[in-house]
Chain A
Amino acid sequence: MDTKTTNYFDEMRIDDVKIRDIYQHYQHWQSNLSTGTLERKSAEAELLFRRLGITFAVYGESSGSERVIPFDIVPRIFSRTEWTRLELGIKQRVRALNAFLHDIYHEQEIIKAGVISKKQVLGNALYRPEMQGVDLPNQVYAQIAGIDLVRVAENDFYVLEDNLRTPSGVSYMLENRNTMMRLFPELFASHAVEPVEHYPQMLLDTLRESAPSNISNPTIVVMTPGSYNSAYFEHAFLASQMGVELVEGQDLFVHQQKVYMHTTDGPQQVHVIYRRVDDDFLDPLAFRPDSTLGVPGLLDAYCSGNVSLTNGVGTGVADDKSTYFYVPDMIKFYLGETPLLSNVPTWRLSEKDDLKYALAHLPELVVKEVQGSGGYGMLVGPTSSKAEIETYKQRILKDPANFIAQPTLALSTCPTLVESGVAPRHVDLRPFVLSGKDIRLVAGGLTRVALSEGSLVVNSSQGGGTKDTWVLED
Chain B
Amino acid sequence: MLSRTADNLFWMARHIERAENIARVLDVAHRTSLLPRDVEGTEANLWYAPLNITGCAASYEEKHGLARASAVTHYMALDPDNPSSIYTCLKMARENARAARSTITSEMWEIINATWLELKRLSDQMDYDYEKFPDFFEWVKGRSHLFRGVTLGTIIKDIALSFIKLGTFLERADNTARLLDVKYHILLTEKENVGSSVDYYQWGSLLKSVSAFEAYRKIYRDVISPLRVAELLILRDDMPRSLHACMDEVEDALLEINGSAGKEARRSAGELHAALHFGRIEDIFEQGLHEYLTHFLGQTYSLSQNIRDAYLARQDRFETLPIRSAGQSQQQT
Q: In the complex, are the beta carbons of B333 and A217 less than 8 A apart?
A: yes
Interchain CB contact (< 8 A) of B2 among A52, A227, A255, A263: A263
Identify 15 residue pairs between A and B in the complex whose beta-carbon atoms are under 8 Å apart, listed by A's number: A53-B110, A217-B330, A236-B98, A236-B102, A239-B102, A245-B102, A250-B314, A251-B314, A260-B323, A260-B329, A264-B261, A265-B259, A266-B329, A267-B329, A268-B333
B101 on interface, CB distance cutoff 8 Å: yes
B34 on interface, CB distance cutoff 8 Å: no
Please name the residue on chain A nearest to B326 by beta carbon.
A269
| In the bound complex, CA of A248 to CA of B102 (Å) | 13
- Interface residues in A367-388 by Cβ distance below 8 A to B read none
CB distance from B101 to the nearest CB of A (A): 4
Give the residues in chain B near A217, CB-CB below 8 Å: 330, 333
Give the residues in chain B near A264, CB-CB below 8 Å: 1-3, 6, 159, 163, 257, 259, 261, 310-312
B141 on interface, CB distance cutoff 8 Å: no
Please name the residue on chain A nearest to B318 by beta carbon.
A253
Interchain CB contact (< 8 A) of A227 among B99, B323, B333: B99
CB distance from B6 to the nearest CB of A (A): 5
Q: Interface on A for B, CB 8 Å cutoff?
A: 50-53, 217, 219, 222, 227, 232, 235-237, 239-240, 245-248, 250-251, 253, 255, 258, 260-269
| In the bound complex, CA of A235 to CA of B98 (Å) | 11
Return the 10 tightest CB-CB contacts between A and B, nearest first: A239-B102, A240-B102, A236-B101, A246-B102, A264-B311, A268-B329, A262-B3, A236-B102, A53-B113, A265-B259
Q: Interface on B for A, CB 8 Å cutoff?
A: 1-6, 95, 98-99, 101-103, 106, 109-110, 113-114, 117, 159, 163, 257, 259-261, 310-312, 314, 317-318, 321, 323-324, 326, 329-330, 332-333
| In the bound complex, CA of A51 to CA of B112 (Å) | 9
| In the bound complex, CA of A239 to CA of B329 (Å) | 20
Please name the residue on chain A nearest to B159 by beta carbon.
A264
Give the residues in chain B near A222, CB-CB below 8 Å: 102
Q: How many A-B residue pairs have CB under 8 A?
A: 102
| In the bound complex, CA of A265 to CA of B324 (Å) | 10
Q: In the complex, are the beta carbons of A51 and B99 less than 8 A apart?
A: no
Q: In the complex, are the beta carbons of B324 and A266 less than 8 A apart?
A: yes
Q: In the complex, are the beta carbons of B3 and A52 less than 8 A apart?
A: no
Given A263-B3, A266-B259, decide whether A51 and B110 contact each other with a Cβ distance below 8 A. yes
Q: In the complex, are the beta carbons of B333 and A219 less than 8 A apart?
A: yes
CB distance from A461 to the nearest CB of B (A): 21
| In the bound complex, CA of A63 to CA of B161 (Å) | 32
Q: In the complex, are the beta carbons of A265 and B318 less than 8 A apart?
A: no
Give the residues in chain A near B159, CB-CB below 8 Å: 264
CB distance from B102 to the nearest CB of A (A): 4
Given A53-B109, A264-B3, A268-B329, decide whether A255 and B323 contact each other with a Cβ distance below 8 A. yes
| In the bound complex, CA of A310 to CA of B102 (Å) | 19
Give the residues in chain B near A248, CB-CB below 8 Å: 4
| In the bound complex, CA of A169 to CA of B110 (Å) | 21
Q: In the complex, are the beta carbons of A258 and B5 less than 8 A apart?
A: no
Given A239-B102, A240-B102, A251-B314, decide whether A263 and B109 contact each other with a Cβ distance below 8 A. no
CB distance from B167 to the nearest CB of A (A): 14
Q: In the complex, are the beta carbons of B314 and A262 less than 8 A apart?
A: yes
Q: In the complex, are the beta carbons of A245 and B2 less than 8 A apart?
A: yes
| In the bound complex, CA of A235 to CA of B260 (Å) | 31
Q: In the complex, are the beta carbons of B102 and A251 less than 8 A apart?
A: no
